[in-house]
Structure 1
Amino acid sequence: MKKSLIAIALAGTFLTACGQSDPKQTNSTIVEATPAAKAELGEFGIDLTARNEAVKPGDDFFMYASGTWYDNFEMPADKTRYGAFTQLAERSEDQVKAIIDDITSRQNLTPEEQLIANFYNAYMDTDTINKLGVSPIQATLDQINAIKNTDDLTKVFGNVWLTNADSPISGGMWFNRLGPDQYEFTIGAGGLGLPDRSYYLEDSERFSHIRSAYVSHITEMLAFAGIKDGQARAEAILALETQIAQGQWPREKRRDRDLTLNQIKRADLAKEYPNFNWDLFFEQTGYSIPQLNVSQPEPIKAMIALVNQQPINVWQDYLTYHTLSNNAGLLAEEVFNANFAFYGKELDGQEEPRPRWKRAVDEMSATESLGFAIGKVYVERYFPESSKAKMADLVENLRTALGQRIDGLDWMSGDTKVNAHAKLAAFKPKIGYPDVWQTFDGLTLSNQDLVGNIHKLRQYFHADSVATELEKTDRNRWGMTPQYVNAYYNSSFNEIVFPAAILQPPFFDPNADPAVNYGSIGAVIGHEMGHGFDDQGSKSDANGIQRNWWTDADRAAFEAKADQLAAQYSLYEPITGHFVNGRNSLGENIGDVGGLSMAYHAYQLSLNGKEAPVINGVTGDQRFFLAWAQVWKEKRTEQSMLSQLKAGTHAPGHYRALAPRNHDAWYKAFDVKPGDKLYLPEDERVRIW
């Protein structure tokens, strides 16, 4: 199984498809579901007590659906946001903790259980960790101190996959977008310590304060490496990172797959991007793959210029700081606490750190850690096969619905519809857990050496990636572990993936009313399917190959609708003066609006022409849209909200809950009329899929 890949470029968390045609009442594979027992939430799967019925649905559907909860909920001190996702993630954490506690309490463990026990015990051994101080990363700090020239610097940059230092030029394995059966090495620009380039470049009191606090933080962290005159050196690091930020593309440009597809042969790299020792860089990575992609050509050239222009001592301080900061969670508590004071409290408004055991669970549950060893047990204990079967049925229901909706599109020609149907038919769903589990043959971990364990895991996964770089891509691989609360679409494999942990209330409850499941997990399925048809996913075909399968007129019609949606979301202002980036979040917003339409269409099909019952005074359509809105209930610190606006690809939950304003059925269900704040005239409601 392929393991070491560039940070997975998977399209998001939820929801896609928008409506042009009326659902056809057919005898297709759509089946009618009925509750078998009491739902976990309320009487039928929704928490009606969370509503604030004093708010008109047409004025603020988020507050109508969840306002009482929002007004009364107190943010836990160890959180920066809390909502349905957080609640379910905590359930998953508790379940994983129970698995670990069981393993660590027993003798005669299997090899994988021993790995889990040793890693967890090493992570929780704070006495040993505190005694070691920063010594576990001293070898990396020594290498940085020994840098004499740009070749030495390049060696460190090429080795960050192991040391978790930082680099303005980085790369990793991904799939060849023009031939997904092959891997390629993608080179990109990075290296910032603040969440986004805007934190360096925006001229306001808020960002000026953050930059000042960042300098103070860097000064404190450098002291752990014995650097006493840290203030001036910290200011030089900020100045360097500001230049890095100036050289980078804005986020909305970085997500454009046409701009980020720049394939080049390894043999031509030095000619096209001179003045950087690429051979030395790749020697550190171990890769010899001849096929490359440079995701940001101009920024890479700008980073090369900085490598050659900036004094070596500034780069040394930059690397020293980032090595300490990026590894702080593995080091003595005084180092971790200093790092948390800035990244947790200052940047995100988090009052106190998460409990150490939760941080251990997070570290262990990653894909390139012990996540699949734990996930195998998680699935056995907590994921019924009946849920997988029901989820598979729902996926096919949504596939049927989207197929009908494609047929009904009045803006798409027949030629493009043929290709759209081919892509839809080729969608591969992965539900719950992998068919082929990750193995850990030959790996050993200590119960006393946390950083050593991290390095062993990185080396283990990296060695496998290097060994298989020229082999056919592994389509059995998963980019998330089963215990992770999320979902994603992978355009290269044209697959939608739903880990087991998300298939629980409020997203999926086999005992909930059908309207609720269609409004929650149904829209989740639709969202992920829709990523194959959003502004970027739509650039790949049924086989995952990036190519234009549209007529020019159809593509222009699609982009006009996408532009309209981007403009709509760009009007939302969560913080005074700071708006949702409708262009950067466009793929997710298309997913939300479109997925909701697709799920509603499938729900109507499931009724087989019958009228949905009214339950506790709530109609079927109202239950559907309320389920959607309560999936996105959340509360955030203002600092976390700012980071989401500047660095996130999703709109905040409050505004994701407002996606129904683009759907005619919502207006009828809640009697939304002109004059209501969310009211959109029919010609301004964005209907794409």
Structure 2
Amino acid sequence: MTLSKLAPLSLTVAIAASLAACGKTEAPVAAVAADTAKPAFDMAQIKTPSVAFNVADLDPTASACADLNGFVNGTWLKANPVPGDQTTWGSFEILRERSLEVQHALVEQAATADAKAGTVEAQIGDIWKTGSDEAAIEAAGIAPLQPELEKIAALGDSAAIAGYLRDAYAQGQGFLFSLYASPDFKDSGNVIAYVGQGGLGLPEKGYYFDESQANIRDAYVAYIEQLLALSGVDAAQAKEQARAVMDFETRLAKASLSRIELRDPAKRYNPVSALDADKLTPNFSWTALFDTLKVPAKDKFSLAQPGFFGELDKMLADVPAATWQAYLRFHTVDNAAPYLSKGFEQANFDFYSKTLRGQQEMQPRWKRVLESVNGAMGEALGQLYVEAVFPAESKVEMQHLVENLSAALKTRLENLPWMGEETKKKALEKWASFTPKIGYPDKWRDWSGLTTSGDSYLGNMRAARAFNYRYMLDKIGKPVDRTEWGMTPQTVNAYYNATKNEIVFPAAILQPPFFDAKADPALNYGGIGAVIGHEMMHGYDDSGSQFAANGNFDNWWTDADRSAFNSRTDKLVAQFDGYESLPGVNVKGKLTLGENIGDLGGLTVAFDALQMALKEDPSKNVAIDGYSQDQRFFMNWATVWRRNFTEGELRVRLNTDPHAPANFRANGAPSNMPAFAAAFECKAGDAMVRGDDTRVVIW
């Protein structure tokens, strides 16, 4: 909730699963002109060290059979606490720092170039220069937002409020609910509009009710009051309005579903016509909204969580206009705060980053502005990034690894003892239709029409947001563009998209400890190989398994096979429910189930693929630094998951993140694998060897 607050409303597809949680949203929004000169970049400029597996990092006092994470990462974790300007620190964050250093050089080059107005270089340069001009931002104060605040102050009744909401969404400024374009769950070749619950300033509905979050609630009310006062509201009124806003959001939270409930695709898909939806919400016309947005959604759109929207409609009728004004004013200022003068930016940081997540220091200005460039024009910057630092041979080697993982997965599916032939046939059809995407899009997005200037940082970000949102809305009613990516090439992550049945690996993750073309097979299969397997297995996790080979939300299982699957995944839920992350706070096994299925299945398939590769070329099946290929495979898996957290960040993630904390990911899957026990000669009773009654075997 910091520098990405003006990123497009909901470009993240609800049925896409990523490898790791991202702290910020990077939205693909622009293309680079075909005649863009390839920037010269020397990787020797990078100051952030590599995080490749190194035996010097091992903890000689620890045992792999007792704690793989401690054995591999203990020494490193003790020596690398979370820096003051971060909330987590580990392999992902360090690779992100390396990516940011490259991006920094590229935006500096774009900003200093004599770029023609309207070109991508000029647009990136405008955002960079206006974001870096602290004196101009400070002098402007709240003025760039004042016209919007005046509109809110003039709202006198529910009809005016509904009209304002429609206009705000047309500019991509809505926050009361999500409204985005995505493939139709039942017709995945075509795009429809999806509308879902929203409107909360705290991370998840539980924050409004759990006794353990009382201090956070108090701090949030104080923050609302502070921001309202900074925006010009009288101090006494700001205090009263802050309490009213909190009550408003608490009412929304009561009507909202939990993160665990939203893991069920059926709770995210409810196709209706606009006329039928209008009956549910007589005080808010969806017909009028789609007319304002100029999108063909009246015949069919998804209005999921109807209970939330029924309550929202009542609030339009019975909540005083003054409370609506306070709510809309606060969130409008809150969204813009990172792009306004220092008082707003500092207040925003102090609550969302420091109080909520435990980050002690604001990141340097260049990183904050670079995050804005990524939020506004991430794909444009991505093309510059790829041209500068992504070697063609990396894509070729990755394609080979994907083929090997795919072959290993097919063998696993064919030999599943618990799945019947009818379901197995469908599972193999899904396997055959996987689409891998590696490095960067084959087609870059065009961005003609965006207007930026050298006058206003907030103005540029709002312009980019409106342009992004229009780009997304224009997909509604059209065939799905399967060439599009949901992450930028410079993002250190990977993802699976169920409606496209695709697995995607951005360029920035293709470096050690994940991938190194010069490394021994064990490191690559234990790193990026396990990532490839993880993303493939999302197609068969508790959510992805409800989508068929063609991407449609469709039950392709027999009842007996689904029951057998659930009995196995229930054991994985119990395993992670048993992990205590903070005193008295355990991991939520149901919330993290999909990622844990991905880890277990992905690591299992990657190990199979390693054995196939070593059989093909026995000369590579050699010990290095005293460790066998099998041992190095599991050791690099753990290296990927080395990570420290602030306590605040960890608490937020335990409530909201579908990924378990990194130390449990390092240990969780290997503890279920006899291959791990064999590699390290572990014995029954060792902590990393789960007994027959608790060992989880799925794929």
Pair 60,443 (structure 1): closer, same or farther in 2 beyond 3 Å: same
In structure 1, what is the Cα distance between the partners aligned to 2:136 and 2:211? 44
CA distance in 2, matches of 1:555, 1:134: 56
Q: Deviations over 1:444-503 (max 9, x none)?
A: 311222222122222323333444422212111111111111111111111111111111
Check the 8 A contact 1:507/1:521 in 2, yes or no: yes
Bigger relative CO (Cα 8 Å, ≥ 6 apart): 1
Tell which deviates more after alignment, 448-457 or 405-414.
448-457
1:662 maps to 2:672 = yes
Report the 3-state secondary structure (helix = DSSP H, G, I; strand = E; otherwise coil) of the residue aligned with 1:564: helix
Note closer, same or farther for the CA distance 1:160–1:449 as it changes in structure 2 (3 Å cut): same
Deviations 1:389-431 (A, max 9, x none): 1101111111100000001100101111111111111100111
Tell me which stretches of 4 or more aligned residues in structure 1 moved more than 6 Å: 40-44
Corresponding residue of 2:296: 288
Q: Is 2:618 the partner of 1:612?
A: no
> What is aligned with 1:434?
441
> Do the aligned partners of 2:59 and 2:71 also contact (CA within 8 Å) in 1?
yes
2:268 to 253, 260, 264: 260
The Cα shift of 1:91 comes to 0.5
Aligned counterpart, 2:330: 321
Matched, 1:219 2:225: yes
Cα distance, 1:612 vs structure 2: 2.3
Question: Which residue does 1:23 correspond to in 2?
Answer: none
Whether the 8 Å contact between 1:4 and 1:461 is mirrored in structure 2 is no
Is residue 548 from structure 1 mapped to residue 555 from structure 2 by the alignment? yes
Query: CA contact under 8 A between 1:178 and 1:546: conserved in structure 2?
Result: yes
Deviation at 1:57, TM superposition (A): 1.9
Question: 1:191 maps to what in 2?
Answer: 199
Instruction: Supply the distance in 1 between the matched residues of 2:527 and 2:546 (Cα, whole angstroms).
Output: 27
Aligned with 1:488 (options 480, 486, 495)? 495
In 2, Cα distance between equivalents of 1:585 and 1:175: 24
Answering whether residue 358 of structure 2 is matched by residue 353 of structure 1, we say no
The more displaced of 261-270 and 569-578 is 261-270
1:220-619 alignment runs, 5 A limit: 220-227=226-233, 228-229=235-236, 230-289=238-297, 290-366=299-375, 369-608=376-615, 610=618, 612-619=621-628
Superposition pairs of residues 45-194 of structure 1, within 5 angstroms: 45-108=52-115, 111-161=119-169, 167-194=175-202
Q: Which one of 685, 690, 694 corresponds to residue 675 of structure 1?
A: 685
1:470 counterpart SS class: coil
Deviation at 1:266, TM superposition (A): 2.1
The residue matched to 1:440 in structure 2 has which SS? Answer: coil
Give the C-alpha shift of residue 42 in structure 1: 12
**Structure 1 residue 538: Cα displacement:** 0.7
Bigger CA drift: 66-75 or 510-519? 66-75
Unaligned 5+ segments in structure 1 are 16-39
C-alpha RMSD over aligned residues: 2.1
Q: 1:295 offset after TM fit, Å? A: 2.1
Q: Which stretch shows the higher mean deviation, 277-286 or 625-634?
A: 277-286
Shift of 1:5: 5.9
Contact residue 170 and residue 188 of structure 1 kept, 8 A? yes
Contact conserved, 1:4 with 1:464, CA < 8 A, in 2? Answer: no
Give the secondary structure class of the aligned counterpart of 2:582.
coil
Whether the aligned pair in 2 keeps the contact of 1:522 and 1:599 (CA below 8 Å) is yes
Which secondary structure state, in structure 2, belongs to the residue aligned with residue 254 of structure 1?
Answer: helix
| Amino acid in structure 2 at the alignment position of 1:402 | L
Q: Is the 8 A contact 2:190 2:480 kept in 1?
A: yes
**Secondary structure class of the residue paired with 2:481:** coil
Alpha carbons 1:622, 1:669 under 8 Å: kept: yes
CA displacement at 1:605 relative to structure 2: 0.5
Q: Which residue of 1 aligns with 2:27?
A: none
2:23 pairs with 1:13 = no
CA distance in structure 1 between the partners assigned to 2:108 and 2:283 by the alignment:
53
Long gaps (5+) in structure 2: 1-7, 22-46
8 Å CA contact retained: 2:51, 2:91? no
Contact kept, 8 Å, 1:484 with 1:502, in 2: the verdict is yes
Classify 1:104/1:272 alpha carbon distance in 2 versus 1 (closer, same or farther; 3 Å).
closer
Q: In structure 2, what is the Cα distance between the partners aligned to 1:176 and 1:150?
A: 32
Instruction: Report the TM-score, using the length of structure 2 for normalisation.
Output: 0.91
Deviation of 1:348 (Å): 0.7
Q: Which shows bigger deviation, 145-154 or 272-281?
A: 272-281
Query: Deviation string for 1:7-45 (max 9, x for gaps)?
Result: 333201169xxxxxxxxxxxxxxxxxxxxxxxx999995
SS in structure 1 of the partner of residue 362 of structure 2: coil
Give the C-alpha shift of residue 226 in structure 1. 1.3
Q: In 2, Cα distance between the equivalents of 1:269 and 1:614?
A: 64
CA contact (8 A) 1:168 1:303 kept: no
Q: Could you tell me whether the CA contact under 8 Å between 1:4 and 1:173 is conserved in 2? A: no
Deviation of 1:78 after TM superposition, in Å, equals 0.3
Counterpart residue identity of residue 427, structure 1: F
**Alignment partners' CA distance in 1, 2:635 and 2:188:** 39
Of 485-494 and 255-264, more deviation after overlay is shown by: 255-264
Are the counterparts in 2 of residues 5 and 174 from structure 1 also a CA contact under 8 Å?
no
Q: Distance in 2 between matches of 1:683 and 1:470?
A: 50
CA 1:411–1:527 in structure 2 vs 1: closer, same or farther (change >3 Å)?
same
SS in structure 2 of the partner of residue 348 of structure 1? coil
Q: Which residue of 1 aligns with 2:34?
A: none
1:49 is paired with a residue of what secondary structure? helix
CA distance in 2, matches of 1:177, 1:388: 31
Q: Matched residues in 2 for 1:532 and 1:194: separation?
A: 31
> Which residue of 637, 646, 654 maps to 1:645?
654
Q: CA deviation at 1:523?
A: 0.5
Q: CA deviation at 1:544?
A: 0.4
- Is the 8 Å Cα contact of residues 164 and 327 (structure 1) preserved in structure 2? no
Partners of 1:309 and 1:96 lie apart in 2 by: 49
TM-score scaled by structure 1? 0.92
